[in-house]
Amino acid sequence: MSVKIRKVGNSNTLTVPNSIKPIAHEFDVFQGRDGVIVYVPKHDNPFHNEAFIESHDLKQPEEFGGKLVGREIPKD
């Protein structure tokens, strides 16, 4: 199965054949270095969703307890 790019206004359009049943109505699109075009169903990022952030405690307790003092990462 193959499709051709059509020019519609100022955009290029790829049609979706009837044999493909999309699971989403909105997609993110990417093009790889080798020219591959990938359509990925768009999902909300919960970490950019104000309602999600307000309803969850996103603080992570320190593994060893206590406050950070600035020397936790050893220098090489």
d(CA 32, CA 17): 22
pLDDT at 71: 61
In terms of Cα–Cα distance, which of 14, 31, 36 is closest to 6? Answer: 14
Q: Which two tokens stand for residue 6?
A: 């059509």
d(CA 38, CA 27): 9
Chain Cα centroid distance, residue 3: 26
* DSSP 8-state class, residue 50: H
pLDDT at 59: 74
Answering whether pTM is above 0.75, one says no
Going residue by residue through the chain, which has 76 residues, state the pLDDT in tens, using 9 for 90 and above.
899 999 999 999 999 999 999 889 999 999 999 999 999 999 888 888 888 888 887 776 666 666 666 665 656 5
